[in-house]
Amino acid sequence: MGPSGAGKSTLLNILGLLDQANSGSYQLQGEAVENLRERKRQELHKKHMGFVFQAYYLIDDLTVYENIETPLIYRKVKKAERQAKVAETLDRFNIVAKKDLFPHQLSGGQQQLVGIARAIVAQPKLLLADEPTGNLHSSQGEVIMDLFKKLHREGMTIIQVTHNEKYAHYGSRIIELQDGFIRKDVALQTPASTYSKQPQV
């Protein structure tokens, strides 16, 4: 959490290996990421991470099914397996009926559902969400947060950037940032956390 310009998204991007830190060190699975080659970093990103954005960022030209399928293609998953995984995900998110629609035919909440489905279809260990509910009204937001809770319970680490105090409390730990520094780091009592890394900014 934190005000605009605090560095939340930047931190998230660094964690997600989309950006690099100017200074400091980022240990991922015991390796200093900044010492890795670009290719290796991409690989880690591809293997372990899923992204959810405030503006959903679905690919306009692709159907719901194809949007969800895309990460699997990039991970060179075989066709039959791809079909199985996408079908399973569609089923789980209750959007089987929408699979042949294009993003502009969906409501914002539905689009974000697809965005999350796409982010987790390749079964990442870490889900990074940048204000996932920012563009949604509250009932839609709660659906998303319940989903996150469920995913977390199944063992996925989720880092969420948010302005919303209520949604922040769905998590097990809240870090407040201001001007690039950690102002507050609170661990909540809910399920045992499974942090595998300690970011330093």
Is residue 122 at the binding interface for other proteins, with CB under 8 A as the rule?
yes
Question: Which residue, among 171, 149, 145, 143, has the nearest Cα to 159 in the 3D structure?
Answer: 171
Question: Please, which residues have CB within 8 angstroms of residue 188's CB and are 6 or more apart in sequence?
Answer: 169, 171, 172, 173, 174
Among positions 8, 45, 85, 98, the unique one binding other proteins when judged by CB under 8 A: 45
Is residue 57 at the binding interface for other proteins, with CB under 8 A as the rule?
yes
Q: Please name the amino acid found at residue 178.
A: Q
Cβ 13 to other proteins, closest distance in Å? 5
**What string marks each residue from 72 to 111 as x (binds other proteins by CB under 8 A) or -?**
-xxx------------------------------------
Question: Which residue, among 200, 176, 196, has the nearest Cα to 49 in the 3D structure?
Answer: 196
User: CB–CB of 117/89 below 8 Å?
Assistant: yes
Cβ 53 to other proteins, closest distance in Å? 7
Considering beta carbons, is residue 32 or 73 the nearer one to other proteins? 73
User: CB–CB of 116/82 below 8 Å?
Assistant: no
User: Which one of the spans 14-22, 84-92, 140-148, 155-163 is the region binding other proteins (CB under 8 A)?
Assistant: 14-22
Considering beta carbons, is residue 74 or 195 the nearer one to other proteins? 74
Considering beta carbons, is residue 63 or 162 the nearer one to other proteins? 63
Is residue 46 at the binding interface for other proteins, with CB under 8 A as the rule?
yes
- How many Cα atoms sit within 13 Å of 114 on the Cβ side? 32
Is residue 58 at the binding interface for other proteins, with CB under 8 A as the rule?
yes
How many C-beta neighbours within 10 Å does residue 79 have? 10
Considering beta carbons, is residue 70 or 89 the nearer one to other proteins? 70
Considering beta carbons, is residue 174 or 201 the nearer one to other proteins? 201
> What residues line the site for other proteins (CB under 8 A)?
13, 16, 18-19, 42, 45-46, 51, 53, 57-62, 70-71, 73-75, 118, 122
